[in-house]
Amino acid sequence: MVYPEAVHTPKSEAIIADRIHLHLLSDSTGETLEMLAKAALAQFDDAAVVRHFWPMVRSKQHLDRIVPELKANPGLVLFTLVNQEARSRLEEVCAQNGLPAVPILDRVTEALEKALGQEAHGRPGRQHQMDKAYFDRVEAIQFTIAHDDGIGWDNWEQADILLAGVSRSSKTPTSIYLANRGYKVANIPLVVESPPPPKLFELKNPMVVGLTTAPERLVQIRRNRLLTLNEKAETDYVDNERVKSEVAFARRMFADNGWPVIDVTRRSIEETAAAVIRLYGERAQRQDGEFEGVKAI
């Protein structure tokens, strides 16, 4: 498959502005496009960007309905279109109106074509097909939701991963993120006054990972949580010494059982999940003698 070159605005004509319009056009859900745009924008401080999201653009007729918006709000155009007619029309409109247009997957697709020695299929939304991997992810999400916050401990052996940590240490959001990657995840809050079920210390299949965080940061997160619930601000839940003892209790349990530990103090949910996946891959490599890589999105 041959891809036309991107349409670029000459540097001499580049416009520097306090606010730009960013048009994202995709022939599928646009998830990939949004993630790439978000990752790129994160490299710029205080970027004032007005995003225009156009998913499921699969024909020239659909694109023609978008053209007036492109003209009314000129800016940068990022696209993933495999329909050649729609793609050619978009590049024509951008060239006529001096809009820089970037086909963000072209370079990667071309490189893969050369490496694999075959042409790309050019089918929109192919990564979202309802195959076995898709249904595995659905099953993982259902399992994870059903085993949140210590629920369903009698089924923990069926999990791939079990996350343990004190309250508000990002267990649930990390579990859901991992489930979307295809991992069955259970999680349990560690409470000093309420020991976990003995099953936790007997697990063979799941990899148990401890999540910890700085007590000062944990107090801040818990205070914010109480505010959102309109609860009183001063309780043992946010007492500095009490929180320190909770974190120490959890750390001792992690050490006593030889569980790997991840400090989430300065990590995003995505970064924590990436660390868990790396640990899971290393564990699989040790057990099987080879590591085939992490599960795909």
Question: What distance in Å separates the CA atoms of residue 93 and residue 181, rounded to the nearest whole number?
Answer: 38
Residue type, 254: F
Query: Could you tell me which residues are annotated as the binding site for ADP?
Result: 165-172
Tokens of 261: 């530990």
Question: Which phi and psi angles does 212 have, rounded to 5°?
Answer: -130, 165
Helix, coil or strand: residue 214: coil
- DSSP H stretches of helix in the chain: 31-41, 60-72, 84-96, 106-116, 132-146, 171-180, 215-228, 240-257, 269-288
Q: How crowded is the C-beta side of 25, counted as CA atoms within 13 Å? A: 31
Q: Which residue(s) pair with 51 in the sheet?
A: 22
CA dist 47 and 16 (Å) reads: 12
| Bridge partners for 211 per DSSP | 262
Binding-site residue set: 165-172
In angstroms, the CA 108 to CA 187 distance is: 37
Residue 131's Cα: distance from chain center in Å? 21
With tokens 């109106």, the residue in question is: 97
DSSP 264: -
